[in-house]
Amino acid sequence: MEKKKEETKRFNESGIEVKSLYSQEDIKNLDPSRNIGGAGEYPYTRGIHKAMYRDRLWTMRQYSGFGTPRDSNQRYKYLIEQGQTGLSVALDLPTQMGLDPDDPMSLGEVGRVGVCLSNLKDMKTLFDGLSLDKITTSFTINATAAMLLAMYLCVAEKQGVPFDKVGGTIQNDILKEYVARGAWIYPPEFSLRLIVDTIEYCAQHVPRFNPISVSGAHFRDAGCTAVQEAAFTLADAMEYVKAVLDRGMDIDDFAPQLSFYFYTHNNFFEEVAKYRAMRKLWAVYMKEKFKAKNPRSWLFRFGVVCGGSTLMPQQHEINTIRVSYQALASVLGGVQSMFTCAMDEPFSIPTEETARLALRIQQVLGYETGVVDTADPLGGSYFVESLTKEMADKIEELMDRIEARGGMTQSIKEGFIQKEILEEAYKKEKRISTGEMVVVGVNRFTIEEEEKELRLHEYNPQVAREQIELLNQLRKIRDKEKVKRHIEQLRTAGRNNENLMPYLMEAFKDYVSLGEVCQVFKEEFGIFEQPTVF
């Protein structure tokens, strides 16, 4: 008698075994009130709104910013004409690192990977002709997030827009910068203080603005698994919540303005389950651990990027297919805001044509496919519900390990999180190099590509010269005595643990530059040094 061949086990990228078939048996132990329930009902596993996209589609953004503020302003207006419903601002490295364009460290980077913003005049130009009560703006900025928010609010004030009408988000998640991206300036203690300042200020004065978007995206692109991404992100969020509570605020005063941000990768059902699991866990933590009473405090609101490190230069047209499936997974996972990467982003900043095509992915998904017609279309699936529970269990296990080490900040200082990410990144690259993990066009289904001329965005070296000249002109006409007074006020407020947001706004109104502000805090609070991991 022929021996029956043993079935090969399969695992998703987080190490969870995926069975060949799921049935009622796999979800019989799920508690409907805590795991399935309805959309718009605690703990929101199926979505934070009862009708989800039947009432309103997610916000469609395209990450954009390059060159001078005038260059980026023109691109924003073009994308809005094409149907984009929110702005997402990319900042150049000098702006991210708190450097003026004439700083020696800025050489070659001014306006290269994002727009250059070194003073309030730049910010005014960036939003010229764009009313801040009609659009919402997301800033991908961390170390200098408080400074960019202060400038943005000054522009709103100049436009005559009341702060309670200003909507948007600053990323402002510095903890992940220390382990996954590297755009830090200050040590964790002062960085956390800046974040708490922004959260407190927005809670009191800018109620429609999200002062933080806790970001798993960069953990994931650095190489970690979906479970690690979720656990690290929620552990980060816990750290921020505790820091704000230590300031003396009530949880319901600020929790409704907390938001999250992720990359959606290629394992379709793992990504859907990741978002459903995190939404449930956040609601439970907010209600049961932090005793939040306002249901809005329990809502897990998140935005995503579709693309990132999953994009490949080989057969780059395939990237459009990858991004389309990722966008679908994001919508089925219940996203609130999305931007879709263009096919040419492995090479450069997208052109108008490729950015438009990336936007069309979202528009086709929202208006032509029917996936928005019912909330949580995959809810009740034996596979999805089982996977959601397993993801949630593994996320909690890892969060418990982080908590046992003293929390996220301590785990970062010790290099634990860095080591976890590096190990997973190595394992993934090994699987790709051996062919165990298939990447279409890279290690399978490759072709001999003809050399063809791609129309790519070209960096203009004149940008740096123009921005430096404008900054120098500003320095000549501004009131030097006011600048000195603002710098001393910032120094004193920093030492006295006052909320820095009002002082930042007043300084920028008199054209103190970003680099000058950041230098004050470097002198007072120092610069972070990365620990050795191995």
Q: Quick: pLDDT tens for 216-236.
A: 999 999 999 999 999 999 999
Q: Read off φ and ψ for residue 165, nearest 5 degrees.
A: -105, -5
pLDDT at residue 30, rounded to an integer: 76
pLDDT at residue 489, rounded to an integer: 98
pLDDT tens digits for 472-508? 999 999 999 999 999 999 999 999 999 999 999 999 9
3-state secondary structure (DSSP) of residue 169: strand
pLDDT at residue 35, rounded to an integer: 55
How does residue 529 score in pLDDT terms, banded at 50, 70 and 90?
A: confident
Query: What's the DSSP call for residue 452?
Result: -
Order of all β-strands in the sheet with 209-210: 209-210, 167-170, 136-139, 86-89, 59-64, 337-340, 302-306, 258-264, 212-215
What does the alpha-carbon distance between residue 510 and residue 121 come to, in Å, rounded to a whole number?
A: 10
pLDDT at residue 453, rounded to an integer: 63
154's CB contacts (< 8 A; 6+ apart) are 120, 123, 505, 508, 509
Whether the predicted pLDDT of 130 surpasses 80? yes
How does residue 4 score in pLDDT terms, banded at 50, 70 and 90?
A: low
pLDDT at residue 533, rounded to an integer: 53
Q: Cis (ω within 30 of 0) for the bond into 101?
A: no
Mean pLDDT, rounded, for 298-317: 95
Count other Cβ atoms within 10 Å, centred on residue 331.
24
Mean pLDDT, rounded, for 87-99: 96
pLDDT tens digits for 314-326? 999 999 999 999 9
245's CB contacts (< 8 A; 6+ apart) are 251, 290
276 or 458: which leads in pLDDT: 276
Whether the predicted pLDDT of 451 surpasses 70? no
Are 161 and 131 contacting, i.e. CB atoms less than 8 angstroms apart?
A: yes
pLDDT at residue 292, rounded to an integer: 98
3-state secondary structure (DSSP) of residue 151: helix
**Which residue, among 156, 101, 136, 442, has the nearest Cα to 303 in the 3D structure?**
136
H/E stretch holding 465 reads helix 462-477
pLDDT at residue 452, rounded to an integer: 65
Mean pLDDT, rounded, for 67-76: 95
Instruction: Kindly report the three-state secondary structure assignment for every residue of 341-402.
Output: CCCCCCCCCCCHHHHHHHHHHHHHHHHHCCCCCCCCCCCCCHHHHHHHHHHHHHHHHHHHHH
Instruction: Kindly report the three-state secondary structure assignment for every residue of 207-266.
Output: CCEECEEEECHHHHHHCCCHHHHHHHHHHHHHHHHHHHHHCCCCHHHHHHHEEEEEEECC
Q: Read off φ and ψ for residue 351, nearest 5 degrees.
A: -80, 170
Torsion sign across C-alpha atoms 260, 263, 264, 267: negative
Burial group, residue 351, by CB count within 10 angstroms (0-12, 13-18, 19+): middle
Domains of the chain: 46-434 (3.20.20.240)
State the number of CA atoms in the 13 A half-sphere of 410 facing the CB: 7
Q: Read off φ and ψ for residue 250, nearest 5 degrees.
A: -85, 145
pLDDT at residue 62, rounded to an integer: 87
**Over the chain, what is the mean pLDDT?**
94
194 token code pair:
């800046």
